[in-house]
């Protein structure tokens, strides 16, 4: 009987008419949700933006309407519309809603085409926008049904408890029971199905040995002949890393001089090996391969899955003619967002432990055998790699240079730097101490001139580059977008971002969040795709400066390197 009563109550609640103020609020937020963000939208990005915006708008509108009605009753204010005017008002309101909705949607589609051109992508088909809008409307209706079902459950608890308990206790207890019910259902759905499914999928992907990824035949690669690390132990990202790159013949032909085979060292944490043991395994591989005799050693901190950017790895190898070694560890096999949510300590520990172990080993070597030490990382790897340092002075005193790409806004070292940037410099490319050691680069030309075209102070060693595109949502995503307009949006600065982008509470947060998953799939030089620019960036950090008269020849060499890397780099 109780179950039957509950089902009947939920049906009545779900079938109740829409709240007028809530409907108006959902309409307004739906119009705003079609406004542009950083990247072109797929159908599901449209759906997420519209659905989440309408949920927010309906809730805000319904709450506002309730407050206004209560205030009206308190002051004795009543508003009545004559019956003959009521029908006209309804038709006028309906016409206005349809007209504004059509206008905002068409304007949103045109803005998406503008964004596509800015990031050098083909505009999406009209069907993408239509399907996404319909899916977003369906999602918001589904959310409304869930919300009304929850409220009906609360009313049912109150009805069941009212005959036995005092009114105040009934209200509190029904609220607690409803919250417990929602928590149990949510836990079973998200943790029991979604989260566990993601973990199982990540584990399976990490174990996968792809037939198109050959085991290295060089002893200078982990997993190859004489390696202390087995091919299977490296994990799927590690196997791709050590199997990739160019050999000395291709490097030599491209740079026009004799080259060496680059060294690539990698080790993965496992259930039987701690992070500290994994770091020691990397050091052992560096010993085995003779990495200490190379000119350059670069320590990479990977993303959550252990992935490293091939463009960055290969740029170093071509620019040094193979006289280099790169090393990294896999501290997790979860995607970066999942890693940050459930295990945010591992990236920080991985970056710090690897740097400390390598520095200890280098300190035991004669000075003439010590290579120049550089550090690098992208995305969550940039966050983890920078967490190896307490502050900026320690970073500059510890390494010979660094390249950080797509740094998340929550990175402590980055927050220290932006706090001390020069007044008047743009948020997308702040000027730090006149650019003497640290330069923020949105495109290669920013290496030598500020974003506005001004001159830096003379560039001294060690050199650090922060590469970040104005259209990279990973860089700009921050929880504060929910309630505060960020400086980079206030300035509306960015060569690949439409100036029509505006900030709206709640809505902009979800727009940027929806931009993130596919941000690495856009054309290189935009979004979270850092490709060709890694060659001039690493050349600058390595100190490969040339006189002004040789700049054209250097650019030609860089173009040859970029063409060679593009030919050997698979799509991610």
Q: For residues 298-325, give the mean pLDDT.
A: 96
For the ranges 151-155, 342-346, 389-393, the maximum mean pLDDT occurs at 389-393
CA distance 27 to 98: 10
- Count CB atoms within 10 A of the CB of residue 282: 24
DSSP code for 388: T
CA distances, 460 to each of 161, 480, 540, 544 (Å) = 74, 35, 11, 13
Burial class for 98, CB neighbours closer than 10 Å (0-12, 13-18, 19+): exposed
Mean pLDDT along residues 352-368: 94
More confident residue, 154 or 214: 214
Separation CA 182–CA 442 (nearest Å): 45
State residue 191's pLDDT score. 60
For position 368, what pLDDT does the model report? 85
Band (1; pLDDT cuts 50, 70, 90):
very low
CA 516 to chain centre: 5
CA atoms within 13 A on the CB side of 294: 28
Distance (Å, rounded) from C-alpha 228 to C-alpha 219?
10
pLDDT digits (tens, 9 = 90+) for 181-205: 777 767 666 666 666 677 777 777 7
- DSSP codes joined into one string, 201-229: HHHHHHH---TTSPPP-STTBTTSTT-SS
Distance from C-alpha of 545 to C-alpha of 567, rounded to nearest angstrom: 26
Report the pLDDT averaged over residues 13-25. Answer: 79
Could you give the CA distance from residue 471 to residue 499 in angstroms, rounded to a whole number?
12
Mean per-residue pLDDT of the chain? 90
Residue pLDDT, tens place only, 542-555: 999 988 888 899 99
**How would you classify residue 215: left for phi > 0, otherwise alpha for psi between -120 and 50, otherwise beta?**
beta
Among 13-27, 77-91, 310-324, top mean pLDDT goes to 310-324
**What confidence score (pLDDT) does residue 521 get?**
92
* Res. 298: pLDDT tops 90: yes
- What does residue 441 show for φ and ψ, rounded to 5 degrees? -120, 120
Query: What are the residues whose beta carbons fall under 8 Å from the beta carbon of 3, sequence distance 6 or more?
Result: none
Report how far residue 482's alpha carbon sits from residue 56's, in angstroms, rounded to the nearest whole number. Answer: 11
Reduced DSSP (H G I as helix, E B as strand, rest coil) percent helix, strand, coil of the chain, to 5 = 60, 10, 35
pLDDT digits (tens, 9 = 90+) for 6-16: 555 555 555 66
| Of residues 1 and 217, more confidently modeled | 217
Secondary structure in 3-state letters for 424-478: CCCCCCCCCHHHCCEEEECCHHHHCECCCCCECCCCCCCEEEEECCCCCHHHHCC
- 104-131 per-position pLDDT tens digit: 999 999 999 999 999 999 999 999 999 9
* Placement of tokens 């950080």 in the chain: 404
Question: What is the rounded average pLDDT of the residues 90-113?
Answer: 92
Q: How far apart are CA 479 and CA 481, in angstroms?
A: 5
**Residue 122 DSSP label:** P
Cα 268 from Cα 207, distance rounded (Å): 12
Per-residue pLDDT band for 382 (boundaries 50, 70, 90) equals very high
Do 336 and 303 contact (CB within 8 A), yes or no?
yes
Residue 179 pLDDT greater than 50, yes or no:
yes
Residues 346 and 330: their CA atoms lie apart, in Å, by 10
Q: Average pLDDT for residues 294-302, to the nearest whole number?
A: 97
Which letter, b or e, does each residue of 396-435 get, where b requires 16 or more Cβ atoms within 10 Å of its Cβ?
bebbbbbbbbbbbbebebbeebbeebeeebbbbbbbbeeb
Q: Distance between CA atoms of 20 and 61, rounded to whole angstroms?
A: 8
- Amino acid 450: pLDDT: 95
Q: Of 495, 420, 429, 492, which Cα lies nearest the Cα of 456?
A: 429
What sign has the CA pseudo-torsion 80, 82, 86, 89? Answer: negative
**Residue 23 CB neighbours (<10 A):** 18
Residues 6 or more apart in contact with residue 346 via CB below 8 angstroms: 275, 331, 332, 339, 384
Nearest to 415 by CA among 383, 460, 457: 383
Q: What pLDDT was estimated at residue 155?
A: 78
Asked if 328 and 266 touch (Cβ cutoff 8 Å), the reply is yes
Query: Nearest to residue 406, comparing CAs of 526, 554, 311, 313?
Result: 526
The pLDDT of 143-167, averaged and rounded, is 80
Residue 42: pLDDT band by 50, 70, 90 thresholds? very high
Pure H helices in 187-331: 196-207, 235-243, 248-255, 275-289, 310-319
Q: Assess contact for 249 and 291: CB atoms under 8 A.
A: no
| Partners of residue 225 on adjacent β-strands | none
Q: In whole angstroms, what is the distance from residue 13 CA to residue 77 CA?
A: 29
Residues 361-378: pLDDT tens digits?
999 999 888 999 999 999
Measured CA to CA in angstroms, residue 236 lies from 20, 241, 298, 341, 392 at distances of: 54, 9, 21, 22, 34
267 CB neighbour count, 10 Å cutoff: 30
Rounded mean pLDDT, 267-276: 89
Say if residues 29 and 507 touch (Cβ distance below 8 Å): yes
């Amino acid at each position: 009987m109780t179950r039957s009563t509950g089902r009947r109550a939920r049906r009545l609640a779900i079938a109740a008419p829409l709240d007028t103020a809530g409907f108006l609020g959902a309409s307004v937020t739906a119009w705003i949700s079609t406004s542009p963000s950083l990247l072109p939208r797929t159908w599901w990005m449209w759906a997420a933006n519209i659905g989440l915006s309408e949920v927010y708008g309906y809730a805000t509108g319904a709450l506002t309407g309730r407050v206004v009605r209560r205030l009206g009753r308190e002051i004795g204010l009543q508003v009545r519309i004559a019956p003959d005017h009521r029908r006209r008002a309804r038709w006028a309101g309906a016409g206005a809603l349809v007209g504004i909705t059509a206008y905002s949607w068409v304007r949103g589609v045109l803005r998406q085409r503008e964004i596509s051109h800015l990031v050098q992508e083909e505009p999406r088909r009209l069907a993408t926008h239509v399907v996404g809008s319909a899916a977003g409307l369906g999602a918001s209706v589904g959310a409304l049904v869930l919300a009304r079902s929850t409220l009906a459950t609360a009313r049912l608890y109150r009805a069941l408890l009212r005959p036995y308990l005092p009114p105040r206790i009934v209200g509190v207890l029904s609220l607690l029971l409803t919250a417990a019910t929602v928590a149990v259902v949510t836990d079973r759905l998200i943790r029991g199905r979604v989260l566990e499914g993601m973990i199982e999928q990540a584990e399976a992907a990490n174990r996968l040995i792809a037939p198109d990824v050959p085991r290295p035949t060089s002893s200078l690669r982990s997993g190859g002949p004489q390696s202390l690390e087995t091919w299977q132990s490296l994990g799927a990202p590690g196997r791709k890393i050590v199997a990739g790159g160019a050999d000395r013949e291709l490097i030599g032909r491209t740079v026009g001089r004799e080259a060496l085979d680059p060294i690539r060292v990698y080790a993965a944490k496992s259930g039987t090996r701690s992070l500290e043991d994994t770091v020691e395994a990397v050091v052992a591989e560096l010993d085995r391969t003779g990495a200490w005799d190379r000119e350059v050693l670069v320590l990479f901190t990977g993303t959550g899955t252990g992935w490293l950017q091939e463009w960055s790895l290969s740029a170093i190898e071509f620019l040094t003619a193979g006289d280099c070694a790169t090393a990294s560890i896999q501290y997790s096999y979860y995607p970066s967002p999942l890693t940050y949510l459930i295990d945010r300590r591992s990236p920080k520990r991985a970056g710090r432990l690897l740097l400390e172990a390598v520095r200890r080993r280098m300190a035991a070597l004669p000075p003439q055998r010590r290579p120049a030490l550089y550090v690098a990382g992208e995305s969550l790897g940039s966050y983890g790699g920078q967490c190896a340092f307490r502050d900026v002075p320690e970073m500059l005193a510890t390494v010979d240079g660094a390249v950080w790409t797509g740094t998340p806004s929550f990175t402590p070292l980055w927050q220290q730097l932006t706090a001390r940037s020069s007044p008047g410099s743009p948020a997308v490319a702040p000027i730090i101490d006149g650019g003497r050691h640290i330069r923020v680069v949105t495109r290669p030309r920013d290496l030598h001139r500020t974003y506005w075209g001004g001159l830096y102070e003379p560039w001294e060693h060690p050199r650090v580059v922060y590469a970040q595109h104005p259209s990279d949502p990973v860089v700009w995503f921050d929880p504060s977008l929910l309630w505060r307009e960020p400086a980079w949006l206030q300035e509306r600065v960015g060569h690949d971002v439409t100036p029509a982008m505006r900030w709206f509470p709640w809505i902009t947060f979800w727009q940027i969040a929806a931009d993130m998953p596919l941000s690495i799939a856009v054309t290189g030089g935009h979004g979270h795709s850092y490709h060709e620019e890694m060659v001039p960036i690493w050349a600058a950090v390595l100190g490969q400066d040339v006189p002004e008269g040789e700049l054209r020849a250097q650019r030609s060499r860089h173009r040859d390197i970029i063409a060679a890397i593009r030919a050997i780099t698979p799509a991610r």
